[in-house]
Structure 1
C-alpha cells in the first residue's frame, strides 16, 4: 500500500526516493538469490575458494524458502488474518505497549538482516574477501544449525546493533528505511517461487487482497499509519520546504509492494539464466557448468520486461495516488504489470510452454528416470 502525498517542493524527490528504495532491493535481491552454479574442478581448490569467500550465495541457497502453488493460494488468507489481527489489537489495546512489543521483535530480527546487508554492501564496494568461520551445532550427529561468517560480518554486526539501538530510541525514519531495505533484500534472496504458475497465483491473490483491504475497508491504511515500525519505506513530502520545528509529513510504500513483485522478478531472472544454459547444452536448474560459464553475462529478456513493468506499475501507482489524493493498493497496478509482461514476452518468443513448465525445484533421480522412460 502506498500512502497519498500532497503537492509540495519536494514531491519529485519524494517519488524518486520511494521508487529507488523499491528498485534497489529487487534488482540486487534477484541476482543475489540466483542458485549457485558448480563447475567440475579440483575439490581442494574449491574448498580453499569457499573458505575465502564471504559471499552468501551458498547460505541463501541452503536457507531459501520455496513457495508452492498451495502456499500461494493461502497467502491472501494468512495476510488478511495478520492484518485484521493487528487492526483489532491497535483498536482495542494500548497502542504504546503493542508498539514496544513489535519494536522489540523487529529489532531482534533486524540485527542479522542489517549485518548481512552492510557486509554485502562493503564487499561489493571493496571486493574484500576474508577467511570464513564455521560454527556448527549438532545433536547426536545431526546438524541443527551451521553458521558461516567472517571478520567483516562481526564488524558489521557491531554497526547493526548501533543502528538498531538508535532506531529504538529515536524511531528515526532513515534508520527505519535501513531496516526496510535490509528486510526486503533478504526476503527476495531467500524466498523462491517454484514456478511461474505459482507466481501468477500469488500475484493475482494478493491483487484482490490489496484492493479489498484498501478500497473496501480502512484496515490497511489504519495499520500502516498507526504502526510505527519498519514495515514500510518512508520519505518526507516536505523535506525541501519544511519550516523550523515543522514535523515531517511522510509518504510511504509498504514492504509487501516490494517483496511480492520482487520474488516474481527474481524468478524471471532465474528463467533467463536457465534458458541460456540450456542453449549452451547445460539443461536443469543447477547444472554443473564450466568455470567460464559461471559468471558469464546472458540475455535477460524476461527479467528486463518484468523489471521494466514493475517500474511502470510503480510510477502509475504514484501518479494515480497524487491525482486522487488518496491511498492506493499498489498491487492493483504491480501484479498485472509483472505477470502480463512475462506472458507477453513468452508469446512473442514462442516460449509459452517453456515458461509454464519451468521450475526452480531440482527433480529427483527417480523422477528423471521416469521421464526418460516416458520419452523412450
Structure 2
C-alpha cells in the first residue's frame, strides 16, 4: 500500500489511527493558529527533504559498494513499475478486507510486532555509524558471525549471513528502546525517528534502474493515488485503522503545548519515498556524467520542494482533501526532463541505467587492481 498523505487538523488524541494517504483537512474541534500551522508545515517540509537529500547520497555510495563487492544491484525494472499500481491496489483491498474481518485489537498487536522489528533494524542501519563513533575505543568490542543455511550439498542456500560486533549490538539496543517507546506511548517524536529511518532506507535501497522506469512508476502511482482518494472510501477506511509509524507528524499546537501537543499535521512516507527514489536516480545520473555538477539532482530536489509547498497551500486555502502525488509527480518529472531537453541531454538521460553504470564501475575497478 502506498502511503501518500499530508493531513492537518485536530483529529483526536489518538493521532496514530490516521494513516497518511491524502491531503486532508478535518478541523471541527481544533482551530490551529497561523503560527502553529507555519511551524508544523515547515517542520514537515524539513522532515521530507532531509531523508531525500541524505538518502540520495547514500544510494550513490550503496551502488559504489556493490561495484566493489561485485554484487549486482537489484533494481526496480519497467515491468515492476508497470505492475506496482496494480499490486498496491490489491494490497490496499486486502488490508481493507482484513480490517472488516478481524478485530482491531489483534490487528494492532500484529502490526505493532512487525513494525517494531522493522523499525529497530531500519534505525540501526542509519544510526549505526554515528553510534559507533560515540562509543569509546576502550569499549571491549568483539566480532560475531551468524550463518544459517538450508539444505545440503548443491541444494544448500543461505538464509542468514550476518557479520556484526558488540558495537552493533549497542546500536540495536538503543534503537529497540526507541521502538519500544513508540510501541508503548505512541509518542510523535518516536514515530518520527522510525518514520525518517524508513524513508531514508527507502530512498537509499529502492533503486530505479532507469529514467523511463521512474516515469512509468511515478505516472502509475499518480493515477493510483487520485483514483483511491477520490473514487472510493477504501483508502480512507484503511487509513483510519492502520496504526503504524508510516508517516511523519508535527503538532500544530506545539507553540502552546510543546512536545505534548496532540493536534497533528501529518505527511505520509509515500510522499517522501516515491519521489525520493526518482530524485536519487537523478543524482546517480549526474554522477555518471562526470561533470562535477548536480544539475538534475538539484532540479528534481527543488521541484519536489515546490510541489510539496504547493500541495500544502492548496490544502490550506481550499480546505479540501488533495492527493499529494497529484502535485509532486508533475513537478518531479516535468522539471528535470525539461532541463534535460534544454541542455541537450534528453537522449543520454533515457539511455542511462544503473546496470550499465554498475558494469562500467566494476570494469574500472578491475583494471585498477590489475595495474
Both proteins in one fold, TM over 0.5: yes
SS at structure 2 position matched to 1:34: helix
- The aligned residue for residue 125 of structure 2 is 116
- The aligned residue for residue 221 of structure 1 is 236
Gaps of at least 5 residues in structure 1 are 39-55, 280-297, 369-376
- The aligned residue for residue 67 of structure 1 is 76
- The aligned residue for residue 250 of structure 1 is 264
* Equivalent of residue 22 in structure 1, options 35, 43, 48: 48
* Equivalent of residue 249 in structure 2, options 214, 231, 234: 234
Q: Which moved more, 1:213-222 or 1:183-192?
A: 213-222
Preserved CA contact (<8 Å) 1:76 1:206: yes
> Per-residue deviation at 1:93?
3.0
> Per-residue deviation at 1:322?
1.0
- The aligned residue for residue 88 of structure 2 is 79
- Aligned partners of 1:175, 1:12: CA distance in 2, in Å? 22
SS at structure 2 position matched to 1:70: helix
SS at structure 2 position matched to 1:315: helix
After superposition, the C-alpha distances for 1:55-98 in whole angstroms (9 at most, x for unaligned) are x8789995954100000011111111122222233344322221
After superposition, the C-alpha distances for 1:250-277 in whole angstroms (9 at most, x for unaligned) are 211111111110100000000000001x
> Per-residue deviation at 1:249?
1.3
- Aligned partners of 1:243, 1:135: CA distance in 2, in Å? 44
* Equivalent of residue 227 in structure 2, options 212, 226, 248: 212
Q: How many residues align?
A: 327
Preserved CA contact (<8 Å) 1:305 1:341: yes
Preserved CA contact (<8 Å) 1:73 1:201: yes
- State whether structure 2 residue 168 is matched by structure 1 residue 174: no
- State whether structure 2 residue 338 is matched by structure 1 residue 341: no
Structure 2 CA distance for partners of 1:124 and 1:261, relative to 1, 3 Å: farther
Structure 2 CA distance for partners of 1:299 and 1:151, relative to 1, 3 Å: farther
* Equivalent of residue 13 in structure 1, options 20, 31, 39: 39
> Per-residue deviation at 1:220?
2.4
5 Å-filtered alignment, 1:136-285, equals 136-138=147-149, 140=153, 144=158, 145-242=160-257, 248-276=262-290
SS at structure 2 position matched to 1:333: helix
- The aligned residue for residue 24 of structure 2 is none
SS at structure 2 position matched to 1:253: strand
SS at structure 2 position matched to 1:327: coil
- The aligned residue for residue 321 of structure 1 is 315
- State whether structure 2 residue 324 is matched by structure 1 residue 330: yes
> Per-residue deviation at 1:143?
6.2
> Per-residue deviation at 1:349?
0.7
SS at structure 1 position matched to 2:254: coil
> Per-residue deviation at 1:111?
1.3
After superposition, the C-alpha distances for 1:18-67 in whole angstroms (9 at most, x for unaligned) are 111111111111111115587xxxxxxxxxxxxxxxxx878999595410
* Equivalent of residue 4 in structure 1, options 5, 8, 13: 8
Q: Which moved more, 1:196-205 or 1:13-22?
A: 13-22
Structure 2 CA distance for partners of 1:169 and 1:150, relative to 1, 3 Å: same
- Aligned partners of 1:243, 1:125: CA distance in 2, in Å? 29
What RMSD, in angstroms, separates the aligned Cα atoms of the two structures? 3.1
State the TM-score, normalizing by the size of structure 2: 0.79
After superposition, the C-alpha distances for 1:111-139 in whole angstroms (9 at most, x for unaligned) are 1111112214446899x9x9975544456
Structure 2 CA distance for partners of 1:196 and 1:175, relative to 1, 3 Å: same
Preserved CA contact (<8 Å) 2:252 2:261: no
> Per-residue deviation at 1:147?
2.1
